Amino acid sequence: MEAVLTNSYNETIKESLERINGKSRIPMDFRNLEGEVDTKTILFPITINMVDLLGASIMWLHHIANEKHIIVLYHEREKLFPIVIEISPFLSYKKLKEQIVEQIGQIQAMDETDIQELQKHDNLFGMAPIIVGQTYYHSQENDILQFVLNEEKQGVEVIFNGLIWKEKTIARYMRQIEGVFIHALQNRDEHVGNFRIITDEEIALYNEINNTKATYPEKSIVEMFYKTVKQFPNRIALSSKEGALTYQELNQRSNQIAHMLIQNGVQPGDYVGIFMKRSIDTVISILAVLKANAAYVPIDPDYPESRIEYIIQDSKAKVILTKETEITSKGIQAISIYDSENYLVNDVKLPINCDDIAYMIYTSGSTGNPKGTMLAHRGVVNLCTWMQRQYKLTEEDVFAQFPSFSFDASVWELFAALFCGGTLYVLLEEERLSVEAFANAIHRVKATSILALATVFVRQVATYLEDEEIYKLSSLKRIAIGGEMLPIEVIKLWRERIGTNIEIHNVYGPTECTVVTTTYPIPSQLDENIVSVPIGKPCANYQIMILDENMRLCPIGVPGELHIESVGLAKGYFNKPEKTVEAFVPNPFNPIVNIYKTGDIVRLLEDGNIEFLHRKDDQVKIRGHRIELGEIQNQISQNYNVKENIVFAKKSKEGSQYLIAFYTTLTKKEMPELIYKLQEQLPDYMIPSKLIYIDELPLTPNKKIDVKKLGQLEEEYEPTRLQEYVAPSTEAEKIIAQAWTEVLGVSKIGVHDDFFTIGGHSLKVLRILTLLKEDFPHLTIQDFFKEKTVYKLARIQRELTLEENVFHEYKWIHEPEAIQYTEGITNNRISNVFLTGATGYLGSHILYELLQQTSAHIYCLVRPKKDVEQRIMETLTGYFHDIPNEALARITAIPGDLGEEYFGLSKEEFIAIRSKVDTVVHCGADVRHFGDVKQFENVNIQGTKRMLALADEGAAFHFISTISIPIDLAVEQWDMYKKRGDFEYHVELENVYSNSKLQAENLVREAMSRGMRGNIYRAGNLTCHSETGVFQQNIEGNAFYRLIKTMLLIGQAPNVKWKVDFAPIDFASKSIVTYMQDPQIIGETLHICHPDPIDFVHFVQLMIECGHHLEIVPLSQYVDSGLQLAKEDEEIAELIASQVAGDGAQQSEFVIGTKRTNEWIKKKKIAVPIIDQQFIQKLLAHGEQVGYFPNVEK
């Protein structure tokens, strides 16, 4: 980094200019190199005298520093003398020269005594950044510029330290000074503030970065969406943990709500409030409002009631769309989206102009109330069209929707996804707060893009995501970060922890300009010395101007206010014409066009990028939200006892901003109730982290509140608290209180202090959880929202598992209804079967039953690890000893791989097999419950797609799935299941194996709904052969058998409520093959489980009756016993680790039912083995025989 010019003749000016112009004049690399100067000299040929050189230098400093008091150092008689000029409003260049000549005369008239007295003043070098003279002054300062007038060479020599100044920067400065000088000579009587210092090269750079004109569709958001629906009707458009909708379904659902709105009197141009918690219904409602040619107004239910009421009344909303959240505003028509179910699903065809208002976002207002910003369709369509080109977005992209819908960043993420045919995954509240839940969601849905991440959350992810969890972000291609200044250390931290494979874009834009104005793709190599990441260059059809107070373009490096011109400019502030006129002003270079005054102070960098510096006013960004400090001060002032108050922002140790409020009262006492009053009036992000009572507010000599002094006093004063202070007493309370102190910066934490009234918010919870993880591993984010004090958190007693969640009755999950076929099936004759998974446990038994029950020829796809026929025979003979040779002759082993196109066969071989087979049985899969997502995708999902292609000429398709699918779905969708008797299947499950099988099921369901014959068989807890007790050859790979072994080694069994399924392998395989042959059993999803699951404790009793010594104990005691034994026994250590990780016995209220399957069991007269002591004895005996279970001690 090069040095930055400062003008520091007094402390106030110095701080002001350093804040504007940069962080420090000396780079970190050179701080410790005392006196090290790489002196360089450049001669600039210019005919000028000393007075003009001083005058030009002073005018130039005035322009680049925007200061009225300017000092330069004049070198005369080997001494330095300050030339001090005050730039008054009417100072001409002629008058300026007169003042310079007068001061030079005074200097020359000084005697030695006067000179020595002047030289005693502290640090002349601290007074000015420039020395001007006729000879070089030998200085030890390494960051000062010297302008030496060399009359002999007819020019000005600039002498500077090459270690901290770039030659091209010095050259640019001199061109600016020369330009000012030439302008001054031509306009001696003009005010010096009007002189132009910007060079032609700099104007050319502005023109270059503003050359952004690009085409975009002259269409509304609704037209763009209809186009996507037509192009991708069956792709998933919208999803969350609640469920998923295809584009066709999303279109129809939003049509219904739009028709309902129109029927309820909504007219084109009306405003419609959307008042609901974030969910996919929010997105549906937004589309519905737009289709009705109305503008949506998002209203966050978490806002205080008074703010909600204000927005509803101020916006004059025609109706308010709600969901489950009740609205109490009087005189408002509230409509529930649930009332739309009987309305038409056909498209709403209202004419919509691209300049019609699409939405109105309320942002903080300086007068005490928020103001509504009106944005049109045109800006959204332009921005999202540019995004699609810029980021190469396609229908394959999955967007994780992060920001609140009341925040304008939600707009570009929402419509970017819906315009390109991608999937928008709406992160639910916990997934936006918990780093772990966030990573799980990204991993589960394979998100590729997050286009509106808050800076503070990026820091949280990079800081607190566990090393072993980082892989869960591997699907991401790009993230965009915005909302506030982006410190460079956040990017460094992200790349150090998360990696460099994800594109990172820093985005900037006021709400008034349709979300995003500039973007900066952050390069892999960043300048180590910059403090914050640039905000980049303008997007398509955006132009930027950095203007000084006289509305002139600022040169490179000179701070000014950012102004924006764009097709995305807002229509203004609703019902606030005076505010609109203040913010949207005529373009000084094209007065017929308006530009938006952002209030942001920025500067242009040499490469054309823009660097954000600070706000011009008292507006700040807190957690991405734009806040007017005046609005908060106004709310505090409305309390009768408050005399004065001041609110300001400070930076925390981590670099994020937080709010502090100091107040005085008429009664000279603090007001604890003020906290409650602010909670009733303001959103949580606007409530100061610290509310501090003070007797008197300190003042500056100018009688203004001394904010700097208050910032220093912060640590000396305790914030106002609602409860009387009670010190932590127990060890647990002290540990929790210490963590709060460290994160919140509050020195005295009382055990009854409310976390959220002393500066806490959701993102700070994450830091505290990390600090408490070792001592309180059971605490969760939800605990902080439920138990908000140290006292309550310290007393949470939670088992390591769900032991305390005692439920009163089981929840039975039965099979869904069968898919109905338009034509009846009369023939299910099986002649030629294609079977996968034949060398596996279930697959080999299905093969055996096919040989026993049919005369079919069976083609078995076997991975070619060794001779495939030998593998088939070894598997079969390992389980069965009664297969005749003529039956074995009906098996053809085919070497191939599910993960390869055509299974690794030639296309001709694939077609030949397809023409032969009439039945496909897909039992093969990657059955690990962890591993590479791409592997599961390729084998289990794409492999199923390849198998379906084998059956697409009329073969029946029988798919072996897993019973874990309905159990995992029930956790999130139980209410839906109770209502519909089935689940929403277009969702993502967290477990990679279960999720891959679910997605494969979806493919099969779609094929069956198109007419393909077949069934889905969800295999339950497959156990041993009911007659022999023989189990799978790799017995150690089965989770249930590992549980049995763990209990036998520990000598204990956990006391849990769990209905255990025992599906003997012979019963399961016989059932599947029997069902395949019946033409009436078609389109079914059957549960291949035992019709009578038994209580886990009963199973343990049966083991005890078989001679094993087992003590039934609480689950936590069982785990503790295992952990103790694990210290001495490596085998137990491995087993108990898998139990704690999820393989073990768990409380489970869900039970797999077999209502539909039972009907077929009865009709087909299939024998169901009884799970009694005799069966368990066979199961245990086989485990002992093969050396897996310890022998029973008789």
Q: What pLDDT score was predicted for residue 786?
A: 72
Q: What is the mean pLDDT of residues 230-236?
A: 94
Does residue 801 have a pLDDT over 70? no
Q: What pLDDT score was predicted for residue 1053?
A: 93
Q: What token pair was written down for 86?
A: 């005050």
Tell me if 544 sits within 8 A of 517, measured CB to CB.
yes
Which of 741, 700, 540, 507 has the alpha carbon at shortest distance from 610? 507
Q: What pLDDT score was predicted for residue 6?
A: 39
- Greater confidence (1134 vs 838) lies with 838
> DSSP character for 151?
T
- Greater confidence (904 vs 231) lies with 231
pLDDT band for position 807 (50/70/90)?
low
CATH number at 731-794: 1.10.1200.10
Write out pLDDT tens, residues 264-277: 999 999 999 999 98
Q: What token pair was written down for 84?
A: 């001090």
State the average pLDDT for the chain. 84
Least confident of 75-79, 603-607, 724-728, 781-785: 781-785
Does residue 1046 have a pLDDT over 70? yes
Q: What pLDDT score was predicted for residue 776?
A: 76
Q: What pLDDT score was predicted for residue 22?
A: 28
Tokens 């495939």 correspond to 868
Does residue 718 have a pLDDT over 80? no
pLDDT band for position 407 (50/70/90)?
confident
Write out pLDDT tens, residues 433-475: 888 889 989 998 999 999 888 877 888 888 888 888 899 999 9
Q: What distance in Å separates the CA atoms of residue 410 and residue 858, rounded to the nearest whole number? A: 55
Q: What token pair was written down for 155?
A: 């020019």
CATH number at 836-1004: 3.40.50.720
Q: What pLDDT score was predicted for residue 124?
A: 52
Contacts 24+ apart (CB under 8 A), 726-730: 726/750, 726/751, 726/752, 727/751, 728/790, 730/794
pLDDT band for position 121 (50/70/90)?
low
Q: What pLDDT score was predicted for residue 1006?
A: 93
Q: What is the mean pLDDT of residues 549-567?
A: 91
Does residue 26 have a pLDDT over 70? no
- Greater confidence (879 vs 1130) lies with 879
Q: What is the mean pLDDT of residues 1063-1067?
A: 96
Q: What pLDDT score was predicted for residue 328?
A: 67
Does residue 14 have a pLDDT over 60? no
Does residue 346 have a pLDDT over 90? yes
pLDDT band for position 31 (50/70/90)?
very low
Q: Mapping DSSP to helix (H, G, I), strand (E, B) and coil, where does residue 463 land? A: helix
Q: What is the mean pLDDT of residues 718-739?
A: 78
Least confident of 48-62, 527-541, 594-608, 737-751: 737-751
Least confident of 74-83, 200-209, 790-799: 790-799
Could you tell me the fold of the domain covering 1013-1194? Rossmann fold (3.40.50)
Which of 148, 79, 71, 151 has the alpha carbon at shortest distance from 108? 79
Q: Mapping DSSP to helix (H, G, I), strand (E, B) and coil, where does residue 813 land? A: strand
Q: What pLDDT score was predicted for residue 10?
A: 35
Domain ranges in the chain with CATH number 3.30.559.30: 11-197
Tell me if 1044 sits within 8 A of 821, measured CB to CB.
no
Q: What token pair was written down for 601?
A: 């102070």
Q: What pLDDT score was predicted for residue 3?
A: 45
- Greater confidence (198 vs 616) lies with 198
Q: How many CB atoms lie within 10 A of CB 1163?
A: 11
Q: What distance in Å separates the CA atoms of residue 645 and residue 235, rounded to the nearest whole number? A: 55
Q: What is the mean pLDDT of residues 869-887?
A: 89
Provide, rounded to the nearest whole percent, the portion of the chain with pLDDT above 90.
Answer: 41
Domain ranges in the chain with CATH number 3.40.50.720: 836-1004, 1013-1194
Specify the CATH architecture of the domain 11-197.
Answer: 2-Layer Sandwich (3.30)
pTM of this prediction?
Answer: 0.59
Q: What token pair was written down for 994?
A: 């279960």
Does residue 1143 have a pLDDT over 70? no
Specify the CATH architecture of the domain 215-425.
Answer: 3-Layer(aba) Sandwich (3.40)
H/E run at residue 967: helix 964-980
Tell me if 732 sits within 8 A of 794, measured CB to CB.
yes
Does residue 177 have a pLDDT over 70? yes
- Greater confidence (626 vs 1010) lies with 1010
Q: What is the DSSP code string of 28-48?
A: GGGTTSTT---EEEEEE----
pLDDT band for position 778 (50/70/90)?
low
Tell me if 487 sits within 8 A of 532, measured CB to CB.
yes
Q: What pLDDT score was predicted for residue 11?
A: 35
Does residue 21 have a pLDDT over 60? no
Which of 160, 151, 172 has the alpha carbon at shortest distance from 48? 151
Does residue 1099 have a pLDDT over 60? yes
Does residue 24 have a pLDDT over 60? no
Domain ranges in the chain with CATH number 1.10.1200.10: 731-794
Q: What is the mean pLDDT of residues 1165-1185?
A: 94
Least confident of 74-83, 494-503, 1139-1148: 1139-1148
Q: Mapping DSSP to helix (H, G, I), strand (E, B) and coil, where does residue 814 land? A: coil
Greatest mean pLDDT among 53-62, 67-76, 255-264, 487-496 lies in: 255-264
Q: What pLDDT score was predicted for residue 529?
A: 62
Q: What is the mean pLDDT of residues 362-377?
A: 83
Could you tell me the fold of the domain covering 632-716? GMP Synthetase; Chain A, domain 3 (3.30.300)
CA distances from 540 to 357, 383, 543, 907 (A): 21, 7, 9, 47
Q: What token pair was written down for 466?
A: 């566990």
Least confident of 690-704, 941-955, 964-978: 690-704
Q: What distance in Å separates the CA atoms of residue 2 and residue 166, rounded to the nearest whole number? A: 7
Tell me if 962 sits within 8 A of 1022, measured CB to CB.
no
Q: What pLDDT score was predicted for residue 475?
A: 94
Q: What token pair was written down for 188?
A: 């001696």
Does residue 803 have a pLDDT over 50? no
Q: What pLDDT score was predicted for residue 799?
A: 36
